[in-house]
């Protein structure tokens, strides 16, 4: 057997360069680059190997924050529909643990990222080394064990030859749509530099084929019978529709059957809003039309969704006593939720097969009319929300969303994640293209937006990419503005400034609580509460200092001007928009957030009574 003697780190780099993923006969490179911040735990090992052997096949990218680089990699994988990923390398210690939040974000959203944190010495001789956690019950524990619960695959390489089994398994998980998420390979800093004679066939090209698995004919027939016997069927389109590239298959099914469609955050754009059958957002962040029809539906066909509490309104959304569920999902766990008839397999393949079995089926005229009326009623409400008659002087967030939506074309993508924006934009955004809406709402991680926008731009440099976020998220993680400029990857940041964490502030107040801890205010001398004057933070100067071109918009006219001016710029821009602190959008559903059962506050007591009443609507499906 022919071999080549290499350091473990060098062998890892050579291996990663030759990994591919294939679907429908089209090959894609599986690992498309490496983000890395170097320290003593990886600079002389993996860092040196990447410089020597990486080349153009495995480009190095220099992020400014370890959490942010995982968010960028996650957004990249999402935009690539899981047909491509990025790797992230860090030193031992805080550089590694900074990635844990990013790892959870990727795994919860079922998106592939490869994490290669440095680790403490396997030989243990110099222990405790700089940045090492000493765990009194074992010498085989490091901070990298924190990655275990947030990774779909986790391993620690204590010998250089262990990559021969670890790396192929890591690639299997990354390329498997049913298993994918964060994959963590902890790399002790001494082992990275150790050499081994690796078999040459380890570095040969490997292609991992994503099969479009179909469910059994019996399951398909059972699903067809359930749909045919229903009077008010409804489809919930989730992110799996996009990952499977099943948008056209879904549209074909709708054209045959007229079954209405509602969308999750990840499923937005699966059916464009102009389609008469598209009712838009469902659940806690849903609109009146989608939630009205969902409440009455007697059959729910779930396509590619994990049915989070926001989609199910904490299991109060579906109130028909006879409601049944069918679920199409590559992941068996997700397919069985809500006692659904599970159709485990590829969304596109199963939708195509289901369409054939329902060739002569169509929903009743009375139901079609009800769907049309609900959609028309929502359109009327929508116009009032996005064109408010009164305000306090600044734009409402609803207006910013409308103006941005009108500005964006079918080659644009808006990226958002946390705060009040997801709830508002899910209701109000009208998708013109399946890829124009990018939501990270599995983990709803503050700080994802700018880093995520960079990942979308990396995946498709030809798109106009907008990071849409609030001042709270901006303050948490804005460093990748620098990386976007460094790489010549333009993103446009639309920053809504409402002086605090106003989404949670609204929840706090609506639950009977006093205003506490959610607005950015000065502390008045001698006071326990932070309730002095609003802090004036110069976000424009901050963004300028990082290299962005900055515009300020105070009303509809100046926001439109700023958007067009930003579009003409070659580099990253930021549009600063002061907005009203409160929302002008009503809620059309319920979310289970427990309220104190023993408060002395009368308003909290009243809110608790309303909470207990709402909980009575929760259903158990099995």
| Model confidence pLDDT, tens digit, residues 444-485 | 999 999 999 999 999 999 999 999 999 999 999 999 999 999
Has residue 98 been placed in a domain? yes
The pLDDT of residue 40 = 95
Q: Are 392 and 274 in the same domain?
A: no
Residue 521 CA, chain-centre distance (Å), reads: 31
Residues 201 and 278 in one domain: no
CATH number of the domain that residue 451 is part of? 3.40.50.970
- Report whether 122 contacts 129 (CB < 8 A): no
Which pLDDT band holds residue 82 (cuts at 50, 70, 90)?
Answer: very high
How far apart CA 175 and CA 278 sit, in angstroms, is: 31
**Within this chain, do residues 205 and 240 fall inside the same structural domain, yes or no?**
no
605 in a domain, yes or no?
Answer: no
- What is the C-alpha separation between 121 and 463, in angstroms, rounded? 44
Domain count for the chain, please give it: 3
Dihedral over alpha carbons 613, 616, 424, 304 (to 10 degrees) = 170
pLDDT in tens, 205-264: 999 999 999 999 999 999 999 999 999 999 999 999 999 999 999 999 999 999 999 999
Please work out, in degrees rounded to the nearest 5, the angle formed at the alpha carbon of residue 488 by the alpha carbons of 487 and 491.
105
Does any domain span residue 272? Answer: yes
What percent of the chain lies above the pLDDT cut of 90? 88
Find, among 33, 29, 10, the residue nearest to 21 by Cα. Answer: 29
Structural domain that includes position 329: 217-380
* Whole-number pLDDT of residue 505: 87
Task: Encode pLDDT of 298-331 as tens digits.
Answer: 999 999 999 999 999 999 999 999 999 999 999 9
Residue 38 lies inside a defined structural domain of this protein: yes
Q: 284: domain CATH number?
A: 3.40.50.1220
Indicate the pLDDT class of residue 510, thresholds 50, 70 and 90: confident
Pick the last residue of a domain from 348, 380, 412: 380
pLDDT band at 514 (very low <50, low <70, confident <90, very high): confident
446 and 571 assigned to the same domain: yes
What's residue 407's pLDDT?
A: 98
Q: CA 5, CA 109: separation in Å to the nearest integer?
A: 39
Instruction: Determine contact, residues 272/299, Cβ cutoff 8 Å.
Output: no
Q: Note the pLDDT of residue 525.
A: 82
pLDDT of residue 472: 96
Residues 359 and 467 reside in one and the same domain: no
- Mean pLDDT of the residues in the chain: 96
pLDDT at 507 over 90: no
In this predicted model, what pLDDT tens digit does every residue of 380-395 receive, in sequence order?
A: 999 999 999 877 789 9
pLDDT digits (tens, 9 = 90+) for 527-538: 888 989 999 999
Contact predicate 575/494, CB 8 Å:
yes
DSSP structure string for 293-352: HHHH-SEEEEES----HHHHTTTTS---TT-EEEEEESSHHHHTGGG-EEEES-HHHHHH
Residue 287: what pLDDT?
98
Domain termination site, one of 158, 191, 209: 209
| Structure confidence at residue 502 (pLDDT) | 87
Question: Which among 513, 532, 510 is positioned nearest to 523, based on CA atoms?
Answer: 532
Burial state string for 265-299 with b = 16 or more CB within 10 A and e = fewer than 16: bbbbbbbbbeeebbbbbbbbbbbbbbbbbbbbbbb
Predicted confidence band of residue 556 (pLDDT cuts 50, 70, 90): very high
Arithmetic mean of pLDDT, 12-20: 98
% of residues, the chain, pLDDT over 70:
100
pLDDT at 132 over 90: no
Residue 537 CB burial class (10 angstroms; 0-12, 13-18, ≥19): middle
- Using pLDDT thresholds of 50, 70 and 90, give the confidence band for residue 139: confident
Write down the pLDDT at residue 618. Answer: 92
Does residue 622 surpass a pLDDT of 80?
no
Q: Please give the model's pTM, rounded to 2 decimal places.
A: 0.97
Phi, psi of 291 (to 5 degrees): -75, -35
**What is the C-alpha R_g of the chain?**
25
User: Which residue, chain included where needed, has tokens 């003409």?
Assistant: 568
- Give the pLDDT band of residue 369 (cuts 50, 70, 90): very high
């Amino acid at each position: 057997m022919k071999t080549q003697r290499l350091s473990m780190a060098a062998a890892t780099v050579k291996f990663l360069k030759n990994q591919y993923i294939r679907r429908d006969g089209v090959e894609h490179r599986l690992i498309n680059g490496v983000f890395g911040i170097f320290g003593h735990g990886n600079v002389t090992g993996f860092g040196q190997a990447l410089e020597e052997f990486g080349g153009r096949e495995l480009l190095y990218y220099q992020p400014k924050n370890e959490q942010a680089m995982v968010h960028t990699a996650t957004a990249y994988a999402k935009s690539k529909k899981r047909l491509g990923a990025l790797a992230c390398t860090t030193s031992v210690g805080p550089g590694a643990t900074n990635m844990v939040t990013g790892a959870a974000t990727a795994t919860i959203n079922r998106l592939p990222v490869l994490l290669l944190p440095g680790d403490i010495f396997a030989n243990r001789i110099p222990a405790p080394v700089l940045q090492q956690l000493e765990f009194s019950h074992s010498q085989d524990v490091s901070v990298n064990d924190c990655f275990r619960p947030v990774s779909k695959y986790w391993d620690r390489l204590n010998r250089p030859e262990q990559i021969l089994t670890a790396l192929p398994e890591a690639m299997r998980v990354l390329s498997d749509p049913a298993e994918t998420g964060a994959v963590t390979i902890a790399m002790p800093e001494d082992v990275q530099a150790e050499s081994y004679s690796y078999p040459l066939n380890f570095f040969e090209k490997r292609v991992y084929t994503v099969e479009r698995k179909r469910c059994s004919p019996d399951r398909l027939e059972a699903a067809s019978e359930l749909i045919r016997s229903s009077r008010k069927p409804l489809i919930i389109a989730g992110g799996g529709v996009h990952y499977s590239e099943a948008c056209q298959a879904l549209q074909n099914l709708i054209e045959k059957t007229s079954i209405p469609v509602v969308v999750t955050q990840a499923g937005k754009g699966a059916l464009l809003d102009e389609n008469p059958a598209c009712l838009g957002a469902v659940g806690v962040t849903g609109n009146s039309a989608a939630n009205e029809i969902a409440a009455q539906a007697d059959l729910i066909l779930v396509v590619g969704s994990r049915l989070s509490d926001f989609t199910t309104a904490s299991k109060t959304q579906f109130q028909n006593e006879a409601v049944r569920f069918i679920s199409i999902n590559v992941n068996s766990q997700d397919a069985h939720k809500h006692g659904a008839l599970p159709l485990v397999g590829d969304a596109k393949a199963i939708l195509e097969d289901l369409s054939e079995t329902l060739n002569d089926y169509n929903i009743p005229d009375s139901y079609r009319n009800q769907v049309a009326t609900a959609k028309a009623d929502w359109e009327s409400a929508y116009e009032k929300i996005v064109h408010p008659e009164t305000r306090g002087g600044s734009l409402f967030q609803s207006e910013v969303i409308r103006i941005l939506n009108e500005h964006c074309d079918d080659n644009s993508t808006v990226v958002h994640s946390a705060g009040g924006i997801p709830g508002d934009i899910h209701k109000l955004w009208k998708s013109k293209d399946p890829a124009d809406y990018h939501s990270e709402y599995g983990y709803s991680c503050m700080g994802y937006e700018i880093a995520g926008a960079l990942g979308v731009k990396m995946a498709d440099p030809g798109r106009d990419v907008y990071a849409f976020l609030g001042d709270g998220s901006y303050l948490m993680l804005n460093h990748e503005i620098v990386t976007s400029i460094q790489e010549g990857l333009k993103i446009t940041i639309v920053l809504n400034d409402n002086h605090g964490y106003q989404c949670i502030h609204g929840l706090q107040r609506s639950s009977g609580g006093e205003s506490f801890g959610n607005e950015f205010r000065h502390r008045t001398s001698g006071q326990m509460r932070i309730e002095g004057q609003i802090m004036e933070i110069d976000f424009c100067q901050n963004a300028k200092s990082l290299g962005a071109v900055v515009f300020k918009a105070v009303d509809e006219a100046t926001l439109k001007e700023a958007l067009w001016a930003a579009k003409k710029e070659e580099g990253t821009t930021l549009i600063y928009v002061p907005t009203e602190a409160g929302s002008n959008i009503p809620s059309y559903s319920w979310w289970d957030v427990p309220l104190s059962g023993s408060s002395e506050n009368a308003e909290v007591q009243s809110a608790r009574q309303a909470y207990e009443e709402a909980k009575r609507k929760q259903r158990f499906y099995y």
